[in-house]
Structure 1
Amino acid sequence: MKRVAFYTLGCKLNYSETSTIARQFEEKGFQKVDFHEQPDIFIINTCSVTENADKKCRKLVREAQKIAPEAFVAIIGCYAQLKPENIAQIPGVDAVLGAAEKFRLLELLPTFEKKPQAQVLAEGLEAANSFEHAFSYGDRTRTFLKVQDGCNYNCSFCTIPLARGKSRSDSIANIVAKAKEIALSDVREVVLTGVNTGDFGIQDGRRVERFIDLLQALDQVEGIERFRISSIEPNLLSDEIIEFVARSKRFVPHFHIPLQSGSDRILRLMHRRYERSLYAERVATIKRLMPQACIGVDVIVGFPSESQEDFLDTYQFLNELDISYLHVFTYSERDNTKALEIKPVVPISERNERSKMLHILSDKKRRYFYEQHLGNTHTVLFEHEVDAQGQMQGFTENYIRVTAKYDPVLVNELKPVQLVHINEQMLVEIEEPETVFVTHG
């Protein structure tokens, strides 16, 4: 029995696909092991959103060689689609598979036999035109369910359309069937994920269904207590969707909405499909209908030509918004993107300083959000991981992360808790029956 280890870089979508590919291997008799357990095969699923993701891929190959020098190393994912020949030159890599090939690993590499040169199995993006189902299972309490793939947007900083192809999805009927399959397991929460999740409904190049209709259908699936939307573009987050979540039986009050910049000038240069006024309207609508809702924001600092005035415009806009946390990305140059043509380039030192300022703002926003919920009762879904201090963690419905002394009875359980105090470590204590704390997400 060959032993295979998987490592995932990047987003929840990648994670759902890795988990699905891992199940393919297990169904064929392979033994799934951890990365450090000297496997016979390493499968590394890559991301290429930032330059750091590329560097991480190279580092993982080096680590794999140290752990098991004779093991077969296959690279899949976005970076593999964008730079297959470059990856093939990395010492230790045996195969590179693109977007259309990664779900066919066992077919294309039946023996996983090492050869003198790395095999490159990556067709052009025109081959990546079908929707491949994927969902994670068995690794975490929550399951990530893929509902959409690819992107028809052409943001000037982004390589994802070059790595994953055009927007596409399967039918509502098929995805509901997958959700019902998941419901037969012990999963309590499902996170809907995709490249541009709110663009769900395109099949064979044309729109045939709507995201809101998918949400309404999933809301009727028995056996899953919670559904969570991983991320949705502000121009696709309609009032209809917000109003539905507000009255939903199962969809939780948590939205992650990419902003990228609070400067309309920079948004235009990024080729984003909205102005900041629309973003502010979306936040206001959510908070009016769901005052307890958690709202996360993606923002990029140091985009080409971003002046200090542009950045401060973004900072002030975010500071005044009723949001809960930020995911801050420092702009990095990516080959074949239109942003490379925009001048002047923001110095790295300035990008880093702006990033630091927004990380501090994010901490303040998160703390303020937690403070608003002190004294309130929320339901926590506890996960099975235990840290070095013997603590277990979980999330409330509105994405407050909690941690408690490990209790096997609580694993994968939804338990009401009352948040009563934030201590110096940014932990929120609760009252009866256990002491539970809130930590950074």
Structure 2
Amino acid sequence: MRTVAFHTLGCKVNFYDTEAIWQLFKKDGYEQAPFDQRADVYVINTCTVTHVGDKKSRQMIRRAIRQNPEATVVVTGCYAQIAPDEVMGIPGVDLVIGTQHREQMMDLVHKVQTERKPYNFVGNIMQQRNFEELDVPYFMDRTRASLKIQEGCNNFCTFCIIPYSRGFLRSRKPENVIRQAKRLVEAGYYEIVLTGIHTGGYGADLPDYSLAKLLADLENVEGLHRIRISSIEASEIDDEAIEVLAKSKKICRHLHIPLQAGDNQVLKKMNRRYTTEQFAEKIQKLRQALPDLAITSDVIVGFPGESDEGFEATYRFISEQNFAQLHVFPYSKRRGTPAAKFQNQVPEDVKEHRVQRLIELSEQLMNEYAASFLGKTLEVIPEEFYDEEKTLVVGHADNYVKVIFPGGKEVLGQICEVKLDRVEKELAFGQMVRQVTFAKTEEDVSLEDQPLFDQHPVQFEAI
């Protein structure tokens, strides 16, 4: 039996794309192997959001080639799209395919295997106008399923390379989103994470449709218990969206809203299209509509021209807004973006100091938010074992608090009510009150024989 191994770097969209590519190989008769073992085909799904992503992508490509020099090595994803010639220049790479036309993956693999010469199949992503349908009927774990609803981004922030690697915004047809959501529910998932490159922009290219309307339609999917939005821009949360969020019984009490900077001068140079005052006003409206809402965010430190005063303004703003968690990134100069040419680049040691300060603030905010639920009961979906003895499980509540509690294999992927009794180092601990069960239909029973777990997990590495 032919084997294929995967390694993925980067974001949730890459995670989804790799799962979809695995489905193509599976239909072609392949079995999946661990990436650190010998395989007939290696697929590396790359990231280019920072220079570290580029470096790690090259490292994983070379690792695959060393493991089996006779294997077919396929490189896809954002780094492949941005720098196909660099990737093709690595001896041993057979196919470079970028971020579009992945549905042709198997034909292209057969082509390079037959002709025995490398092939560059990267086209001009800026010319793409249609969403590429890559369906995923189930994932390697059954705790949460991702559902990709859009591709590309029209914002063109001055620091970001992603629009150049993913193209303009393209929304998935609503009927296809709903259809896949129903299939994922039938496969046993209680939570679906809506994901995309610019998720909040969904529907901008569709007639009279929006993310708010999609959320309202997903609310009616029977058996779907949780809907989580992977990320949404503050400028895209309008009154219609807030009304849908407030009325929903399924949308998680957690929104990831990128801030990037808490200083208006820096925001303007970033081309972020809002001020700190507008951001704060939107957060206030959301919290009025959704009490106990967890708001997490992205922050870039050391953007060109960010002064000490500008960073302190960011620090104060984050403290005042009481985020539940931060993802902190040092600014990374990306060739081809406007910011790469900006004057007053910030020294690396200054960036590192600022990153550390915000990480410490994030830890404090996470503990404070989790502690506000002590003595309360949260619904948690355990995702994996926390200890080697497999006596504790860990998972996320709907508000994204990470919870650890005693439990065995039978609760993984299930909905558990857990009462929190302590918080330590950004983790909440508690005791299970009960496991929520649902009556099975005949269709559910017929699905029990379908594989919800494959023999080998697709390997991922977030950067």
- Shorter chain as denominator, the TM-score bin is over 0.9
Aligned to 2:440: none
Structure 1 residues 432 and 173 mapped into 2: Cα distance closer, same or farther (>3 Å)? Answer: closer
Aligned to 1:160: 162
- Residue 243 of structure 1 and its aligned partner are, at CA, apart by 3.0
8 Å Cα contact 1:94/1:115 also seen in 2: no
Aligned to 2:408: 407
- Residue 120 of structure 1 and its aligned partner are, at CA, apart by 1.1
Task: For residue 87 of structure 2, give the secondary structure of its aligned residue in structure 1.
Answer: helix
Structure 2 unaligned runs (5+)? 435-463
Structure 1 residues 105 and 385 mapped into 2: Cα distance closer, same or farther (>3 Å)? Answer: farther
Aligned to 1:173: 175
Task: Trace 1:5-404 onto structure 2 (pairs within 5 A).
Answer: 5-110=5-110, 112-113=112-113, 118-134=118-134, 136=136, 137-140=138-141, 141-203=143-205, 207-384=207-384, 387-390=387-390, 391-404=392-405
Q: Indicate the percent of aligned positions where both proteins have the same amino acid.
A: 36
Q: Matched residues in 2 for 1:164 and 1:429: separation?
A: 40
Q: Matched residues in 2 for 1:70 and 1:213: separation?
A: 50
8 Å Cα contact 1:74/1:95 also seen in 2: yes
Q: Matched residues in 2 for 1:34 and 1:380: separation?
A: 29
Q: Matched residues in 1 for 2:97 and 2:167: separation?
A: 15
8 Å Cα contact 2:396/2:403 also seen in 1: yes
Task: For residue 29 of structure 2, give the secondary structure of its aligned residue in structure 1.
Answer: coil
Structure 1 unaligned runs (5+)? 435-441
Structure 1 residues 71 and 259 mapped into 2: Cα distance closer, same or farther (>3 Å)? Answer: same
Q: Matched residues in 1 for 2:350 and 2:217: separation?
A: 47
- Residue 386 of structure 1 and its aligned partner are, at CA, apart by 5.8
Q: What letter corresponds to residue 422 of structure 2 in structure 1?
A: H
Q: Matched residues in 1 for 2:4 and 2:410: separation?
A: 32
Structure 1 residues 291 and 389 mapped into 2: Cα distance closer, same or farther (>3 Å)? Answer: farther
- Residue 101 of structure 1 and its aligned partner are, at CA, apart by 2.7
Q: Matched residues in 1 for 2:352 and 2:153: separation?
A: 29
Structure 1 window deviating more from structure 2 (56-65 vs 144-153): it is 56-65
Structure 1 residues 385 and 79 mapped into 2: Cα distance closer, same or farther (>3 Å)? Answer: farther
Q: Matched residues in 1 for 2:322 and 2:333: separation?
A: 31
CA displacement, residues 231-256 of structure 1 (integer Å, 9 cap, x when unaligned): 00110012332232222121111100
Aligned to 1:438: none
Q: TM-score, normalised by structure 2?
A: 0.89
Q: What letter corresponds to residue 146 of structure 1 in structure 2?
A: K
8 Å Cα contact 2:405/2:431 also seen in 1: no
CA displacement, residues 79-128 of structure 1 (integer Å, 9 cap, x when unaligned): 11100001111233221112223331112221552877632111112443
8 Å Cα contact 1:231/1:258 also seen in 2: yes
CA displacement, residues 274-333 of structure 1 (integer Å, 9 cap, x when unaligned): 111111112212222222211101110011111111111101110111210000111111
- Residue 130 of structure 1 and its aligned partner are, at CA, apart by 1.7
- State yes or no: 1:417 paired with 2:418: yes
> Number of residues paired by the alignment?
431
Structure 1 window deviating more from structure 2 (103-112 vs 261-270): it is 103-112
Q: What letter corresponds to residue 15 of structure 1 in structure 2?
A: F
Structure 1 residues 427 and 259 mapped into 2: Cα distance closer, same or farther (>3 Å)? Answer: closer
Aligned to 2:429: 429
- Residue 403 of structure 1 and its aligned partner are, at CA, apart by 2.3
- Residue 154 of structure 1 and its aligned partner are, at CA, apart by 1.2
Task: For residue 7 of structure 1, give the secondary structure of its aligned residue in structure 2.
Answer: strand
Task: For residue 100 of structure 2, give the secondary structure of its aligned residue in structure 1.
Answer: coil
Aligned to 2:457: none
Q: Matched residues in 2 for 1:58 and 1:404: separation?
A: 39
8 Å Cα contact 2:146/2:194 also seen in 1: yes
Structure 1 residues 114 and 388 mapped into 2: Cα distance closer, same or farther (>3 Å)? Answer: farther
Q: Matched residues in 2 for 1:373 and 1:256: separation?
A: 20
Q: Matched residues in 2 for 1:34 and 1:260: separation?
A: 36
Task: For residue 251 of structure 2, give the secondary structure of its aligned residue in structure 1.
Answer: coil
Q: Matched residues in 1 for 2:366 and 2:386: separation?
A: 24
Which structure exhibits the higher relative contact order, with contacts defined as CA atoms closer than 8 Å and separated by 6 or more residues? 2
Structure 1 residues 380 and 208 mapped into 2: Cα distance closer, same or farther (>3 Å)? Answer: same
Q: Matched residues in 1 for 2:432 and 2:187: separation?
A: 30
Q: Matched residues in 2 for 1:44 and 1:208: separation?
A: 38
CA displacement, residues 389-433 of structure 1 (integer Å, 9 cap, x when unaligned): 52422111111112234402211110111111124x444332455
Structure 1 window deviating more from structure 2 (59-68 vs 412-421): it is 59-68
8 Å Cα contact 2:405/2:429 also seen in 1: no
Task: For residue 146 of structure 1, give the secondary structure of its aligned residue in structure 2.
Answer: strand
Q: TM-score, normalised by structure 1?
A: 0.93
* Aligned CA-pair RMSD: 1.9
Structure 1 residues 24 and 261 mapped into 2: Cα distance closer, same or farther (>3 Å)? Answer: same
Q: What letter corresponds to residue 404 of structure 2 in structure 1?
A: T
8 Å Cα contact 1:283/1:323 also seen in 2: no
Structure 1 window deviating more from structure 2 (109-118 vs 172-181): it is 109-118
Structure 1 residues 273 and 207 mapped into 2: Cα distance closer, same or farther (>3 Å)? Answer: farther
Aligned to 1:437: none
